[in-house]
Structure 1
Amino acid sequence: MDNIYLLIFYSVLAIFILVTFFLVLYIRNQNMVWQQRKLFQDTEIQQQKQLLSAVIDSQEIERKRIGEDLHDEVGGTLSAIKLMLNAAMRQYNPADQEVILPAKQLIDKMIVDVRNIAHDLSPPGLAMFGLYTSIEGFVSLINKTGELEIAISNELTTEEKLLSEKAELALFRVITQLIANTLKHANATKIEICFKELENTLEIVYQDNGKGFDVAVLDERKGIGMQNIMSRLQMINATYTLETSLDKGFKMTISCLLDS
């Protein structure tokens, strides 16, 4: 009788050991599968970032080339035409000058427009003066149009460059795209942009008093502008939060780690 009990005990023990063994093998196998899947996802994300970075870099090179061509070639040609018109005005009587003067005024406007477009394509002061000063210059151009009021504030504790040139260029593009979105879609009268330095992080708060939108439908209505914003922030490992709702304006807070 005791032998039967012992046999049953050892049988149950053997089954328990086998089940435990196979359970451990299963968990270990699932662990390996999960790690491989995570490694694959991380590799895929890294490859996507590298591809995105290469695409944006090539876009910036082309923007810079076009901006320089506009500034040097087209701007130079317009300036030469303006000089010719000035010379013509000195040679003709006042009646003829009245015909030439509107053309000269139009040339003056075109020179300013070309310069602004060239600076937008390739901001000349970014590498030398940094992100805040470049945004300040861009904002002053928008304020002169009278379309809306943009207030910009600086709560940074230093005037030194805090980010790499690539990160600053990405943030410059993001902020100018946000301003463009507000101008096109928000029916806003005011924009506020604040630069802050929190520990080892640069924080940029952008908000307008426009009509806003429902965040729940953001993915459905996400246009190219918003996609570009998110892609550029992802490329420099910046994070962001959105606060908006219908008739409550729009607010985006961007956080980017400072260069050590």
Structure 2
Amino acid sequence: MDEKEVQSFLIIFSVIALLLAVTLILLFILFQKRKNRLLREQREAENRFKEEIIETQIEIKEDTLRNVSWELHDNIGQLLTLSKIQMQNAKDNPEAIDEAIETLGQSLDELRSLSKNINPDTLTNLTLVEALQLEIERFNRLRYLATSMECTASYFAIDHKIEIIIFRMLQEFFTNTIKHSKATKLEVKVRYSGKTLEIDACDNGVGFDANKISTFSGIGLSNMMNRAKLINADVRIESEPGKGTKLFFIYKT
């Protein structure tokens, strides 16, 4: 190999080495950009989740206070009014005193039940099933509608923050049932098998056209869809005018 060939070889080798170096540098820069983007998206997702948890907790507290107001007016207030009337009638009917005492006792029981909902730590210390059971008991106690719940397990291996979001989604469905559906029955079924949580809820109300997005937005069901996406859950709403509304929820841990 003469000197000219050696020089040519060195030049080609240098060019190839330079191209490889540039390629590696570009790949490293692209890798870093992708890594930084993924980290940024992860932080944004974590921040959105934290914000959603805070917003959900605020909504639960607001809904709880609203329910407390209804219960004080529609239930306990009426019981106390009835007790007052019974005491007034006791002048002519001594047996009314016993009835008044019984009514007052019922009022105290209702206040004790109500205090569970007022306590800000109640939901924090309860499992999802226990929190749902409190809601079911409240509906039956206030005679809003006949409500039942079936459950295969009282404990799930689910992050409590996820449980809060799930509870709020169901609470919103319940609220829509009471406010808009004119239903007389509400049934809830909770199943947990393996690592899958399934919840079905259905009412026998007037229903609505589930294909209309404006309807979803109008009664807040779009919030449920957005929250389902946030926790990677599947939620489906089925409803037809005159045939009630059904919710199907699936979450895999």
TM-score w.r.t. the length of structure 2 is 0.61
Deviation at 1:37, TM superposition (A): 1.4
Partner of 1:155: 152
Q: Name the SS for the 1:41 alignment partner.
A: helix
Partner of 1:242: 236
Query: Which whole-Å CA distance do the structure 2 matches of 1:165 and 1:221 have between them?
Result: 27
Partner of 2:169: 174
Answer whether contact 1:63 1:122 (CA < 8 A) is retained. no
Q: 1:224 to 1:42 in 2, by over 3 A?
A: farther
Q: Name the SS for the 2:220 alignment partner.
A: helix
Query: Which whole-Å CA distance do the structure 2 matches of 1:24 and 1:228 have between them?
Result: 46
Amino acid at match of 2:200: V
Which stretches in structure 1 are left out of the alignment for 5+ residues?
Answer: 93-110
Query: Which whole-Å CA distance do the structure 2 matches of 1:6 and 1:61 have between them?
Result: 81
Partner of 2:27: 27
Pick aligned residue for 1:229 from 212, 224, 236:
224
**Higher mean Cα deviation, 76-85 or 244-253?**
244-253
Answer whether contact 2:216 2:222 (CA < 8 A) is retained. no
Correspondences of 1:173-212 after superposition (within 5 Å): 173-181=168-176, 193-206=188-201, 210=207
Amino acid at match of 2:251: S
Amino acid at match of 1:177: E
Query: Which whole-Å CA distance do the structure 1 matches of 2:67 and 2:186 have between them?
Result: 27
The alignment status of 1:254 with 2:246, answered yes or no, reads: no
Deviation at 1:25, TM superposition (A): 0.8
Answer whether contact 2:176 2:219 (CA < 8 A) is retained. no
Query: Which whole-Å CA distance do the structure 2 matches of 1:160 and 1:60 have between them?
Result: 21
Q: 1:184 to 1:45 in 2, by over 3 A?
A: same
In the comparison of the two structures, how many residue pairs are matched? Answer: 231
Q: Per-residue displacement from partner, 1:17-57 (whole Å, max 9, x unpaired)?
A: 21221111111101111111111121122222222322333
Partner of 1:40: 40
Deviation at 1:68, TM superposition (A): 5.4
Deviation at 1:11, TM superposition (A): 2.4
Q: Per-residue displacement from partner, 1:155-195 (whole Å, max 9, x unpaired)?
A: 33xx4576676655543332232244456777989865321
Q: 1:78 to 1:165 in 2, by over 3 A?
A: farther
The alignment status of 1:55 with 2:55, answered yes or no, reads: yes
Percent identical among aligned pairs is 17
Amino acid at match of 2:249: T
Amino acid at match of 1:255: Y
Q: Name the SS for the 1:195 alignment partner.
A: strand
Answer whether contact 1:203 1:255 (CA < 8 A) is retained. yes
Q: Name the SS for the 2:151 alignment partner.
A: strand
Answer whether contact 1:155 1:195 (CA < 8 A) is retained. yes
Q: Per-residue displacement from partner, 1:231-254 (whole Å, max 9, x unpaired)?
A: 65567x462243759889754223
Query: Which whole-Å CA distance do the structure 1 matches of 2:66 and 2:183 have between them?
Result: 31
Q: Per-residue displacement from partner, 1:124-164 (whole Å, max 9, x unpaired)?
A: 9865671453354356469x656xx86643233xx457667
Give the superposed CA RMSD. Answer: 5.0
Which stretches in structure 2 are left out of the alignment for 5+ residues?
Answer: 93-106
Partner of 1:97: none
Deviation at 1:4, TM superposition (A): 3.9
Q: Per-residue displacement from partner, 1:78-114 (whole Å, max 9, x unpaired)?
A: 544333323344558xxxxxxxxxxxxxxxxxx9xx9
